[in-house]
Chain A
Amino acid sequence: MKTNDVILQTTTKVVFFIIFLFSIHIFFAGHYTPGGGFVGGLLTTGAIVLLLLAFDLKTVQLALPFNFTVVTAIGLLLALGTAAGAIVFDVPFFTHAFDYFELPLFGKTSLHTAMLFDSGVYLVVVGSAITIIQSIGGDD
C-alpha cells in the first residue's frame, strides 16, 4: 500500500535534532543535575527510533552506517578501560580522578574521568537498545 507521510517525515527531520541535542545536554549535565549516561542513551535511542518510524530500516542503516553490536563493544571497552586505568597509577580499581583545566573556549572547566565511564554507559545503552529494536522490527 502506497501511503503519503510527508508530514511525518518533515516533522521528523526537525524533531530528530531537537531530541538528539536534548540527549547530549542530559548526558553532559548528568554530574550536577538529574540525567547521565543511561537517560541520554535512551533519548538518543528514541531519536533513532523516530527515524526508523518515519523512514524504513534500510534508509536508517544507510544514514547511520554503524554496526550497533560493535558500538556496544566499544562502550564496554571504554567503561572497563576507565576502571582499569586506575591500576596504572597505583590506586585501587575504579578510582576516579578529576582536576580543573583552562580550556580555550570554555574557560575553567572541571574534567572528571567519571565522564569517560558515563560515555561508555551511553554507548552500551544506545548499542544494545538499537540492536534489540532493529532485530525485532526487521522481522518479516
Chain B
Amino acid sequence: MNIFYSVCLVLVILSMLGLLYRVWKGPSIPDRLIALDAIGVMLISAIALLSILFDTPFFIDVILLIAIMSFIGTVSFSKFIERGEIIERGSDR
C-alpha cells in the first residue's frame, strides 16, 4: 500500500511541475494567479499523502492552515487585480 501512496505523491508533484510551468509561462496575470491557487491545492494533497506515509495525525492542522492562507491570498491578489487597492479606506457604497 505504501507504493500506492508514493505513486500518488509522484503524480501530485508532476502536476505541481505542470502548474509551475503555467506560472512561469502564463501570458496574463490571472493565469499565474489561478496556477498559484491550484499549487496550493496540490500542496494540501501532497501534505495529506505525506501524513499518511509518515503515519502521523499532526499534519492535519497544516492542511487546514494552508487552505485558509491560500484562500486569503487568492482573494487579496484578485482584489488587487480588479481594483488596484487591497483594503479600502471608507465605504463609498
Contact = CB atoms under 8 A, between A and B. Distances in A.
A57 B89 CA distance: 5
B55 interface: no
B-side interface mostly? helix
A22 B91 contact: no
A15 interface: yes
Interface in B57-74: 58, 61-62, 64-65, 68-69, 71-72
A34 B75 CA distance: 27
Nearest to B76: A53
Contact of A56 (B61, B71, B88): B88
B83 interface: yes
Interface residues of B, number: 22
A34 B58 contact: yes
B90 to A, nearest CB: 5
A2 B71 CA distance: 24
Interface string A108-124: 00000000000000000
B68 A22 contact: yes
Given A33-B58, A35-B61, A43-B65, A137 B83 contact: no
A59 B91 CA distance: 8
Nearest to A8: B75
Contacts of B83: 1, 3
A33 B87 contact: no
Contacts of A35: 61
11 contacts: A2-B93, A8-B75, A22-B68, A33-B58, A34-B62, A53-B87, A56-B88, A57-B90, A58-B90, A58-B91, A137-B86
Closest CB pairs A-B (n = 9): A137-B87, A56-B88, A58-B90, A52-B87, A34-B58, A57-B89, A56-B91, A53-B75, A46-B72
Interface of B: 58, 61-62, 64-65, 68-69, 71-72, 75-76, 79, 82-83, 86-93
Interface of A: 1-3, 8, 15, 19, 22, 26, 29, 33-35, 39, 43, 46, 49-50, 52-59, 133, 137-138, 140
